[in-house]
């Protein structure tokens, strides 16, 4: 059995950004237009008038200030309210593969590795742009990597669940190193016309190089342990899938995009996540107070504050539990990895940290790491 490390990370950030002010202005223009179109029905009581969104609510309820997106103009067009992403011919690199290759190349450069050092690629994200062939195989080929590649989806926990698969492959010797990439184009499955959730998500791609510790560069993070948990819930759900066509559904039906019972998710997932992290640490003879940094899933600021209160008996400082969701919004599985990518340079040799994701499924994944000399 080999010891395993996170050798490096990479982060692709889309070039376009949307502020809460821009988002709310577009939503409110859409709502006003809908209310004008349906004025007679509203007066007759057969149509419920749309209520306007507000920047103050978004910042107070979520902590989100802006988000990056692949395409801004389509999202902000009140007559469209979804990104404009032109279809590409089959011979051209697909969008998810393109942003994953960018993040993966950054991770390879950061660890001084080349394609020849890698034996596997896992593309793990909350949605895939096609059924097959696997996006991961396209990424593998674009990077010139031999070996194998596959896609997997565990919604917001896709990255941590993929880390465990990569760790197992490296630990037992079936791969020397595995690239885990998380291309999250959440803007394409977000209901931008729904005031309750139009502010939640953003686009990004992260990459992690999971490698045999004896091959990893100095300053890498040893993976001391991973722990996964899932518990079925429909409180976060997207019914889009290959059966939709046979079900004769309206392609515009609301349930074919992300939907959630946000309050229930908040109430149910916070205690589950805190309990999960504590029991994982206990199993490694560690306490939450031994942890130098928590790189938590980035869905909602109050959620992370509540989880850290449950863990530490007090609110964590930004140094102990960094926040990136103000800049990026919720980026599904990439959130905790962005926090790790951005906030790990100051971790000293021997210090321990926890990467933890939580989300749809429900699914929770924790990864305990220790900085190496």
Binding to ligand CO8 by residue 189, rule CB under 6 A? yes
Extract the tokens encoding 17: 């950004």
Locus of tokens 């949605």? 127
Applying CB under 6 A, which of residues 142, 359, 364, 367 lies at the interface with ligand CO8?
359
Decide if residue 154 touches ligand CO8 (CB under 6 A).
no
- Binder of ligand CO8 out of 47, 148, 150, 266 (CB under 6 A): 266
Q: Which of 123, 156, 205, 356 is catalytic?
A: 156
Q: Which of 269, 130, 101 is nearest to 188 (CA)?
A: 130
Alpha carbon distance 35, 21 (integer Å): 21
Least CB distance to ligand CO8 at residue 82 (A): 11
HSE-up of 93 (CA within 13 Å, CB side)? 15
Any idea how long the chain is? 373
Q: Residue 67 or residue 371: which is nearer to ligand CO8 going by CB?
A: 67
| Touching ligand CO8, residues 62-81 (CB under 6 A) | 62
Contact partners, residue 239, CB within 8 Å, separation at least 6: 253, 255, 256
Judged by beta carbon, residue 140 or residue 260, the one nearer ligand CO8 is: 260
Q: Per-residue b/e over 60-93, b at no fewer than 16 CB within 10 Å?
A: ebbbbbbbbbbbbebbbbbeebbbeeeeeeeeee
Shortest CB 296 distance to ligand CO8, Å = 11
Residues 85-124 that bind ligand CO8 (CB under 6 A): none
Q: Interface with ligand CO8 includes 232 (CB under 6 A)?
A: no
Q: Which range binds ligand CO8 by CB under 6 A, 33-41, 58-66, 165-173, 281-289?
A: 58-66
Residue 103 token pair: 């993040």
- Active-site annotation holds for 123: no
| Candidate segments 172-180, 225-233, 263-271, 316-324, binder of ligand CO8 by CB under 6 A | 263-271
**117: its two tokens:** 């050092």
Under the criterion CB under 6 A, does residue 221 sit at the interface with ligand CO8? no
Please tell me the distance from the alpha carbon of residue 187 to that of residue 126, in angstroms, as a whole number.
12
304 touches ligand CO8 (CB under 6 A): no
Sheet strands (E) in the chain: 4-12, 16-19, 66-69, 120-124, 148-152, 177-184, 204-212, 221-230, 236-237, 259-260, 291-296, 352-359, 363-371
Please identify, using beta-carbon distances, which residue of 226 and 238 lies nearer to ligand CO8.
238
Our CB check for ligand CO8 shows the closer of 174 and 231 to be 231
CB of 164 vs ligand CO8, minimal distance in Å = 18
Place of tokens 């698969």: 165
Catalytic positions, written as ranges: 156
Sites of contact with ligand CO8 (CB under 6 A)? 53-54, 57-58, 61-62, 126, 155-156, 186, 189-190, 195-196, 199, 201, 236, 258, 260, 262-263, 265-266, 299-300, 303, 330, 332, 359-360
């Amino acid at each position: 059995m080999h010891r395993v490390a996170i050798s490096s990370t990479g982060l692709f950030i889309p070039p376009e950004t949307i502020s809460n002010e821009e988002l709310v202005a577009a939503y409110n223009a859409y709502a006003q237009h809908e209310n004008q179109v349906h004025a007679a029905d509203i007066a007759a009581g057969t149509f419920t008038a749309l209520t306007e969104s507000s920047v103050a609510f978004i910042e107070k309820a979520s902590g989100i200030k802006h988000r990056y997106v692949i395409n801004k103009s389509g999202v902000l067009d009140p007559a469209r309210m979804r990104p404009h992403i032109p279809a590409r011919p089959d011979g051209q690199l697909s969008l998810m593969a393109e942003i994953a290759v960018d993040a993966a190349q950054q991770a390879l450069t950061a660890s001084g590795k080349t394609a020849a050092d890698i034996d596997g690629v896992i593309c793990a994200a909350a949605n895939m742009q096609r059924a097959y062939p696997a996006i991961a195989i396209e990424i593998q080929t674009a990077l010139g990597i031999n070996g194998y590649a596959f896609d997997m989806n565990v919604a917001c926990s896709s990255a941590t669940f993929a880390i465990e698969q990569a760790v197992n492959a490296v630990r037992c010797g079936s791969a020397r190193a595995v690239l885990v990439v998380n291309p999250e184009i959440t803007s394409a499955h977000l209901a931008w016309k729904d005031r309750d959730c139009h502010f939640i998500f953003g686009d990004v791609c992260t990459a992690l190089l999971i490698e045999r510790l004896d091959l990893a560069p100095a300053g890498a993070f040893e993976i001391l342990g991973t722990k996964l948990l899932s518990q079925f819930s429909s409180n976060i759900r997207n019914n889009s899938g290959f059966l939709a066509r046979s079900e004769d559904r309206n392609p515009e039906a609301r349930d074919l995009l992300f939907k959630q019972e946000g309050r229930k998710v908040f109430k149910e997932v916070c205690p589950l996540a805190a309990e999960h992290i504590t029991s994982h640490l206990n199993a490694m003879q560690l306490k939450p107070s031994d942890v130098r940094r928590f790189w938590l899933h980035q869905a909602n600021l109050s959620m992370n504050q509540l989880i850290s209160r449950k863990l530490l008996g007090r609110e964590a400082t930004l140094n102990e539990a960094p926040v990136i969701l103000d800049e990026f919004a919720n980026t599904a599985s990439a959130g905790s990895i962005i926090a790790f990518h951005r906030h790990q340079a100051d971790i000293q040799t021997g210090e321990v940290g926890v990467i933890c994701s939580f989300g749809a499924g429900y699914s929770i994944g924790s990864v305990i790491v220790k900085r190496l000399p």
